[in-house]
Amino acid sequence: MKEVLITGAAKRLGRDFAIHLGKQGVFVWIHYNNSKKEAEEVLKLINSSDGVGELIQGDISQYSQAKSIANKIKLKGGSLNVLINNVGKYSTGDITKFSIQNFESIINTNLLGSYYMIQELHPLFNQEGGNIINIGYTGINSLASSTKATAYSISKTGLYILNTSYAEALAEINIRVNMISPGHLDNSIDLPKDIKTSIPLGRSGTSKDILDLVDFIISPNATYITGQNIEVAGGYMLSLNSHLN
C-alpha cells in the first residue's frame, strides 16, 4: 500500500488532499499542529470510505518536531511514496509595520518547515522513489516586489527555489519534486471582487482542479516530469497588471 504524508491535512486544501487520496486506497498520514479535532474528523471520513490513515502531530516550523515526525513514521515501519508540503501560513500588512514575530513565523512555517520535512522524510522513500509536491501560488516565479504580503512572497519564492534544487538533487534516487501553484480557489480568503475580469477563464478554481493535477503527477503518466512549477489559476497573472502587491 502506498503511503502519503500531507502537512496541514486538517483543513481546507490539505483536508481535501487527505480525503481524496484516502478514498483511493492510499495510507494517509494526516499531519496537524493545533487542529486535532478537525484532523480526527478527516480520519473518520477516510475510514468511512474503507480508507486507512493515522494522525501525526507537530509544529513543522521547529526542526526538532519535524525530525520527530520522521522518527514516528520510522518506528511504525512506514515508508513514504508521496510527501505533500501543503502548510501555508498567510498574513498581510504594510511591511514597514509588520511585526517581526509574524514575519519570522511565516518564513519558518512556509519555507523552513517544508525544507525540514523534505530533508528528514526523503530517506523514508523506498527504492522505487516517489513524489514530493510543494504547494506554491500563482505568479511565484515572476514576482518583483510585494509591499503587503512580503513575508509570504519571500517564503513561497524560496520554496520555488527549494523545489528545483531538490528536484535535481533527488533525481538520482527517482524522487520527483514538483510544485503546484493554485490561483484563487473558491474558498480563498482574498477572492477578487470581479472574478470574470480578474481571471481570464472567468471563474475561481476548485479543489478538484488541484486534485486532478495531483493524481496526474503521482501517476505512471508523469514519471518524466520533475522540477516543475505548474500553475492552476485559470490564466490569472497572465497580465503584468495583476501581480500581487
Model confidence over 2-50: pLDDT tens digits? 999 999 999 999 999 999 999 999 999 999 999 999 999 999 999 999 9
Which residue's C-alpha cell is 503511503?
3
β-pairing, 229-232 vs 175-182, is: parallel
Helix boundaries (H) for 107-220: 113-121, 150-170, 195-198, 207-217
Q: Which residues pair with 80 in a beta bridge?
A: 125
**What DSSP element (H or E) covers 134?**
strand 130-135
Cα dihedral sign, 138-91-150-17: negative
Compute CA distances 148 → 137, 180, 243, whole Å: 16, 23, 12
Interval 216-228 mean pLDDT: 97
Interval 217-245 mean pLDDT: 82
Quick check: 238 pLDDT over 90? no
pLDDT in tens, 71-104: 999 998 878 999 999 998 888 889 898 999 999 9
pLDDT in tens, 139-163: 777 666 677 789 988 899 999 999 9
Quick check: 194 pLDDT over 70? yes
Q: How far apart are CA 109 and CA 23, in angstroms?
A: 28
- What pLDDT score was predicted for residue 242? 44
b (16+ CB within 10 A) / e for 149-174 = bbbbbbbbbbbbebbbebbeebeeee
Task: For Cα atoms 22, 23, 27, give the angle at the middle one, nearest 5 degrees.
Answer: 30
Q: Which residues pair with 29 in a beta bridge?
A: 5, 54
- What pLDDT score was predicted for residue 5? 98
Please name which of 31, 43, 40 lies closest in space to residue 69, comparing C-alpha atoms.
31
Quick check: 191 pLDDT over 80? no
Task: With cut-offs at 50, 70 and 90, classify the pLDDT of residue 112.
Answer: very high
Rounded to two decimals, what is the model's pTM?
Answer: 0.92
Q: How many CB atoms lie within 10 A of CB 16?
A: 22
Give me the long-range contacts of 64-73 (CB less than 8 A, separation at least 24): 66/113, 66/116, 66/117, 66/120, 67/116, 67/120, 69/5, 69/31, 69/117, 69/120, 69/121, 70/120, 70/121, 70/123, 70/124, 73/5, 73/29, 73/121, 73/124
- What pLDDT score was predicted for residue 245? 45
Quick check: 243 pLDDT over 50? no
pLDDT in tens, 55-68: 999 999 999 999 99
- What pLDDT score was predicted for residue 15? 97
Q: How far apart are CA 76 and CA 26, in angstroms?
A: 16
Percent of the chain with pLDDT strictly greater than 70: 94
